[in-house]
Amino acid sequence: MNKIENTTIAGSKSFALASKVKDYFQLIKFTLSFMVVFSTVVSFLIAPYQKAGFTLHVLVLVLLLFIAGLCITGSANTVNQVLEKDTDALMKRTASRPIASGRMSVKEGYTFALVTGILGVGMMWYFFNLNSALVGLASLFIYGFIYTPLKKVNSVAVLVGAIPGALPCLIGWVAATDSFSSGGWILFGIQFLWQFPHFWAIAWIAHEDYSKAGFKLLPGDKGPTKFTALQTIMYSTMMIPVGILPYYYGISGEISMWIVLGCNVAMVLLSIKLFIKMDKASARMVMFGSYFYLMIVFLSLWANKL
């Protein structure tokens, strides 16, 4: 075998490995998982665990929490893709996913979900506490085995899905405090309500694809309607009083309170614009606004601890 053949084989193996890694990143929905774990980590840092500053010990715990959270979320997302492989194949947005496209088998998907799920929950138990591990396990189970199949049955799936979507905040708080105190539930409430305008904006934009797959994710049976936009306004408005609770319970300072309030008002205004214009451009504004909302709100709450 000459040098050119060796180089070709090595290049093919490197390409195959890179493709496999890319498939696993797609399987765990890395960008989405990163956002979820971001909430977990910031909630951990907001909790009254450590007051002496950002020490090396805290950095190590944050890294462990990030890996454990990524494993749990990745496991849930993998279960989701295994169960939805046929419907994913029908939608342009998801047809290229590894299991839907046939690049990865269902058996490999379930094996990966099992390994990452056990690893993530086990890490939460070993490095943090049993309570946080149990909350992580509950989040994985509800998302993978209740929310996922319910999406084809009734739009109440969005309500059910908002529970595991907000549990990462509680996981981070409990990991730090080993208690289900008010602070953890307040952070849970913020992220729980946030998901409705966020997800309905996504469902509005992708309504044709979702309908083709048989998903029932908008609150009205007739697709993107005034009723959906009104619901978005309602939940955005509910976020305002809940956003004040961190200040009331001493989790944040006055500056953070005003930042959170400003973000909440912005979400209401974006939702009102959607109600007035009733178009995808306004729905995209709600969707992107919600991404910035979560990042700014949680970072402002954390900044109060620094």
Buried/exposed 16-35: b ≥16 CB within 10 Å, e otherwise: eeeeeeebbebbbbbeebee
Of the residues 130, 156, 180, the one at which a domain ends:
180
Distance CA 306, CA 167 (A): 24
| pLDDT one-digit tens code per residue, 31-69 | 888 888 999 999 999 988 654 455 778 889 999 999 999
Of the residues 129, 158, 180, the one at which a domain ends:
180
Q: Tokens in use for 229?
A: 């936009």
CA distances from 238 to 58, 167, 274 (A): 34, 19, 17
Question: What is the pTM assigned to this prediction?
Answer: 0.89
156 lies in the same domain as 200: no
Number of domains in the chain: 2
| CA nearest to 251, candidates 169, 180, 186 | 186
Percent of the residues in the chain that have a pLDDT greater than 70, as a whole number: 91
* Per-residue model confidence (pLDDT) at position 143: 93
Of the residues 144, 164, 180, the one at which a domain ends:
180
* Per-residue model confidence (pLDDT) at position 20: 78
The mean pLDDT value for 80-86 works out to 90
156 lies in the same domain as 244: no
233 lies in the same domain as 286: yes
| pLDDT one-digit tens code per residue, 149-182 | 888 887 788 889 999 999 999 999 999 999 999 9
Residue 8 covered by a domain: no
